[in-house]
Amino acid sequence: MNTSQLPPYARLMAAAEVLFEEKGFHATGIDPILELAGVAKMTLYRNFTSKEELITAVLRLKSRKVLHWLEGEIARRAGDGIPSKIEALFDAYGDWFEKEDFKGCLFMKAALEFPDPKHPAHKAAATHTRKMFSFIETLTPGAHNTEHVLLLLNGALSVAAMTGAGQASAKRALQAAKKLITT
């Protein structure tokens, strides 16, 4: 991770995201984050009152990044029509699953490590899920069963993370999505 040109806050956020994805939230201490970011502890506490606040900020930033990435991928890959947009969505996920740095879903990790729905990290993960549902609805105006698309995406994501099935899991989920989406 080469972030030396970024301001300290951005380096801190980038380091936290990398380590949370690699090791999880509870297993990642503050010191490794600070070391990877190359910032002093004062930088952390000038911006965040706690590790939980840092976790929540990382999740919110990651949500914005994921949605921005997906918007770009759909615009780049999809033609007109719902089937093309759904295929572009699953293809983008499939390509992500094949990347060397693919570590699964940070939001699923947050929901699992912080099971209390009132915990700020769990809330951030749940908010991301609602935003993903809304995003998919924008891709499929007037279609029925669109809520199942995110379930299929998350299922493909879980299978890819646990088995290394990568693109194959996205392709299988896409086939199911095509059968479910009707207008």
pLDDT at 97 over 70: yes
Tell me what the mean pLDDT of segment 148-152 comes to.
Answer: 93
Residue 49: the pLDDT is 94
Alpha carbon of 92 to those of 72, 86, 98, 133, 174: distances in Å? 10, 10, 10, 16, 11
Q: Which residue has the tokens 């299922």?
A: 155
- Mean pLDDT within 19-23: 97
Phi and psi dihedrals of 64, rounded to 5? Answer: -60, -40
Question: What is the residue extent of each domain of the chain?
Answer: 1-47, 59-180
Architecture of domain 1-47: Orthogonal Bundle (1.10)
Mean pLDDT of 31-55: 96
Query: pLDDT at position 144, please?
Result: 81
pLDDT band for 118, please (50, 70, 90 cuts). Answer: very high
Q: Hey, what CATH class is 59-180 in?
A: mainly alpha
Per the CB < 8 A criterion, the answer to whether 150 and 136 are in contact is yes
pTM of the model as a whole: 0.92
User: What whole-number distance in Å separates Cα of residue 44 and Cα of residue 38?
Assistant: 11
CA atoms of 119 and 134, how far apart (whole Å): 23
pLDDT, greater one: 151 or 2: 151
Mean of per-residue pLDDT scores for the chain: 94
Q: Is the pLDDT of residue 183 over 60?
A: no
Q: Is the pLDDT of residue 30 over 80?
A: yes
pLDDT band at 2 (very low <50, low <70, confident <90, very high): low
Q: What is the pLDDT of residue 79?
A: 92
